[in-house]
Amino acid sequence: MLETAQIYGRHGVAEGLAGVTAEVIEGLSIASVAERRHGAAGLAELMAINYGLTLPRRPAHVGAGALGAVAVGPGRWLVLGAPPDLGRSLHGVASVTEQSDGFVPVTLSGPSVLKCLAKGVPLDLHAAAFPPGSAATTIVAHIGVTLWCLDATPRFALLIARSYWVSFMAWLIASGAEFGIEVVPAKGRG
Amino acid sequence: MKLPCPFCGLRDAHEFSYLGDAGPHRPETAEGFHDYVYLRDNPAGLLQELWYHGQGCRSWLVVERDTLDHSVTGARLARGGRS
């Protein structure tokens, strides 16, 4: 069993540039938003007016400043960087649930990131099929993951349920070892 | 086998769990309950059936599948009116 302390650092191939870099984000505020029946129009309007955010109605991630939203199902989103008044401001049109402690966000980048993810993600993540802004909720090594493409580098963001995070990182480190993988705490977030 | 989830797109069947025939509707009274619980048609050919995308968008789907060759010809959200 991997201990949390063993997750951070360089794993696998030790020399040269890391093929995969994983940044673990702590302190990001996350909320789940589920539209109420007949609340769709009101929810879209309130999100646009109050936060300048157009909620995607297909598997996608959109950002507006410090705020982001990823669609995880029909009428359901996870809002990243959720403001404390989100529940109040969407009262009556959506159910808002605090999820900040529920997920660990991880960003993945590096020249071998696609080869590494291909070992577990059952989806085509090539830019032609999964351009920036694309999102998916799927299963990786029997662990549920919501992921989206941040930019064309490519960089990916992943949300893993906190109780599964250590197991997920064990898979990630094993999969990234042949490329050299660096796991670091994210800087400048929180 | 892959299923065309209307929200997620084409996904492997292992992300889903199977319930069965989407046809039977829960009766309002005790009358007909035995048939609702136990009796199924088991057709050889096209069948509308319920699948749950538990490892994806967590939606119940109505999938049209040919029981003879497993070809899937469509899928829609079981809950109508929600997109």
CATH number where B61 lies: 3.30.2270.10
Where in the sequence is the domain holding B10, given as residue range(s)? Answer: 2-77
Residue B7 belongs to some domain of the structure:
yes
Percent of chain A with pLDDT over 90: 94
Q: What is the pLDDT of residue A5?
A: 80
Look at B56 and A138 and tell me if their CB atoms are within 8 Å.
Answer: yes
Q: Do domains A9-26+102-185 and A30-98 have the same CATH topology?
A: no
CA dist., res. B14 & res. B26, Å (int) = 28
CA dist., res. A151 & res. A25, Å (int) = 17
Domain count, chain B: 1
Q: What is the pLDDT of residue B79?
A: 86
CA dist., res. A22 & res. A24, Å (int) = 6
Q: What pLDDT, in 10s, does the model give residues A57-69?
A: 999 999 998 999 9
Residue B83 belongs to some domain of the structure:
no
**CATH 3.90.76.10 is right for the domain spanning A9-26+102-185:** no
Q: What is the pLDDT of residue A190?
A: 43
Which whole number is the average pLDDT over A74-101?
97
Q: What is the pLDDT of residue A1?
A: 67
CA dist., res. A173 & res. A179, Å (int) = 10
Residue A189 pLDDT greater than 90, yes or no: no
Parallel, antiparallel, or unpaired: how do β-strands A103-109 and A135-140 relate?
unpaired
Residues of B in contact with A136 (CB under 8 A): 8, 56
Residue B82 belongs to some domain of the structure:
no
- Residue pair B50/B59 in contact (Cβ under 8 Å)? The answer is no
- Residue pair A50/A146 in contact (Cβ under 8 Å)? The answer is no
Q: Which of A55, A138, A142 to mutate to test the interface with B (most CBs of B within 10 A)?
A: A138
Q: Where are the domains of chain A?
A: 9-26+102-185, 30-98
CB interface of A with B, residues 40-79, below 8 Å: 40, 57-59, 72-76
CB interface of A with B, residues 151-190, below 8 Å: none
Q: What pLDDT, in 10s, does the model give residues B56-83?
A: 999 999 999 999 999 999 999 998 633 3
Helix H or strand E segment including A30: strand A30-35
The second-level CATH assignment, the architecture, of A30-98 is 2-Layer Sandwich (3.30)
Average pLDDT, chain A: 95
Helix (H, G, I), strand (E, B) or coil at B45: coil
